[in-house]
Structure 1
Amino acid sequence: MTDWYRRKTWTKTDEEEFFAKLGRARKDGRAQYLKIQAIELIYTKEKKLVNVAEELLNKVLREYPENRIEKSPCYNFLGQIYELRNDAEMAICFYKKSLDYEKEFPNVITSSYLDFSKIVIQEGKTESYNEVEKILIEKIENESISFPVQNYIMYSILAIISEFKGNSEQARSFAEIAEKNSKAEKNSLWNPRKQKIGIVENRINWLDKLVGRK
């Protein structure tokens, strides 16, 4: 049976039942339930349901401003909503809000560093290349990245930026690292049962094209 906060539909009955159960839930868990329900609706990619998801995420930000755990994820998913609407400017705005808040509250880190970087590259916003480069280099230097898919994307982006800046040698080096990670069959986690998590299952065609891969 599907959890009451993981609905894939949003009829009048769904809405009434959801908010009735939300009202009976513990107060410290309500923001999380709203966010999870929003995520489920976003993943349907149906316009009306995505609009509902936006309302739920804004409800979290508006009615639970003291909830620091959900703020950055909500900004991130609002960014994803605007990407679905092909509104790059608003998507970038929300990804940056997510990243800015993560500087204040680093306990919760989202995929905004990748989402922001990808959309900047895809949209050709060269004025933001330095910012993206700084974000990714810091991510690589300060964290132990376990998942090949993250490295594949990050190093591909760094290769594109390096080539744009005229550093072809560095671009080739980054591209080689990205390619190696794209072909990795396992991650660096110790648990053998989880070593398939985060491998590259589907390459990103537009990203490969910009890197210059055939």
Structure 2
Amino acid sequence: MSSEDWYRNESWNASIEEHFYSKLKRTRTQRDQYLVIQALTLADTYPEVSLRLVNEYFESRKDQFDDIRALLAKANACKTLNDLDGCISAFKEVLGREREFPNYQTGVYLDYPYLVATQKIENEYANAVDVLNEHVDRLTFPLDYYKWHASKALINNDGSEAQKALDAAKVKRSGFRFHQDVGLVGKEHEKTIKHLCKIST
């Protein structure tokens, strides 16, 4: 790790934390950004640390510029901890901020419904479908189409939507000239794909 990556630590312990805060104290203009980047980096592996950094960000931030990324870190950390209520709450906050700042868009319009659908959170079904319909014109990559159709298929037990999701999962080239492997459906979706196969028949 280069000296410039002190805020992208992929592991965490007392000495790393001490080094991180010693560097953070010396920063003047980008402190908020460094906190959020580190929180995002640790969300999947050290979720408790990530949440602590997110809380610190919101308590000390100078402006709201990095709020959406901080909320994404919170959502990812909550998901890692299997705190689905916390994850959904953070996802909804992100969607709210995106409506306020339409130039700042994330993939939460797909991640939120997909989580709701795959985890069978029935009290969120209606809102999840509304979010899918609201953002249908943003679909770009095969993974986007997969999550959109898979969410609808699982929520409505719709065989036609399941087949469309399965078709998107079979795509092996993104269609983008220089990034053929970007936005494809990965192996982490295999369990859901098996379920979709049952719905589609």
TM-score band by shorter chain is 0.7 to 0.9
Matches within 5 A, 1:58-77: 58-64=55-61, 66-68=63-65, 70-77=66-73
CA 207–9 in structure 1, closer or farther in 2 if over 3 Å, else same? closer
Among 90, 93, 96, which residue is 2:92 paired with?
96
Q: Check conservation: 2:40, 2:72, Cα contact below 8 A.
A: no
* Secondary structure of the structure 1 residue equivalent to 2:82: coil
Q: Alpha-carbon deviation of 1:73? A: 1.8
One-letter identity of the residue aligned with 2:111: D
Match of 1:52 in 2: 49
Among 6, 9, 18, which residue is 1:7 paired with?
9
Q: Alpha-carbon deviation of 1:188? A: 3.6
Match of 1:34 in 2: 35
Is there any run of 5+ residues in structure 2 with no aligned partner, and where?
A: none
Among 103, 106, 109, which residue is 1:107 paired with?
103
Match of 2:18 in 1: 16
Match of 1:166 in 2: none
Matches within 5 A, 1:1-214: 1-2=1-2, 3-27=5-29, 29-43=30-44, 45=45, 49-64=46-61, 66-68=63-65, 70-141=66-137, 143=138, 145-163=139-157, 171-189=158-176, 192-202=177-187, 204-213=189-198
Determine the C-alpha separation between the residues in 2 that align with 1:12 and 1:201: 35
Is there any run of 5+ residues in structure 1 with no aligned partner, and where?
A: 164-170
Determine the C-alpha separation between the residues in 2 that align with 1:162 and 1:36: 37
TM-score by length of 1: 0.82
Q: Alpha-carbon deviation of 1:107? A: 2.4
One-letter identity of the residue aligned with 1:61: F
* Secondary structure of the structure 2 residue equivalent to 1:53: helix
> Which structure 1 residue ranges, 4+ long, deviate > 4 Å from structure 2?
none
Q: Over aligned residues, Cα RMSD in angstroms?
A: 2.1
Number of residues paired by the alignment?
A: 197
* Secondary structure of the structure 1 residue equivalent to 2:106: coil
Q: Check conservation: 2:9, 2:38, Cα contact below 8 A.
A: yes
* Secondary structure of the structure 1 residue equivalent to 2:102: coil
One-letter identity of the residue aligned with 1:92: I
* Secondary structure of the structure 2 residue equivalent to 1:6: coil
Q: Check conservation: 1:76, 1:111, Cα contact below 8 A.
A: no
Q: Alpha-carbon deviation of 1:197? A: 0.6
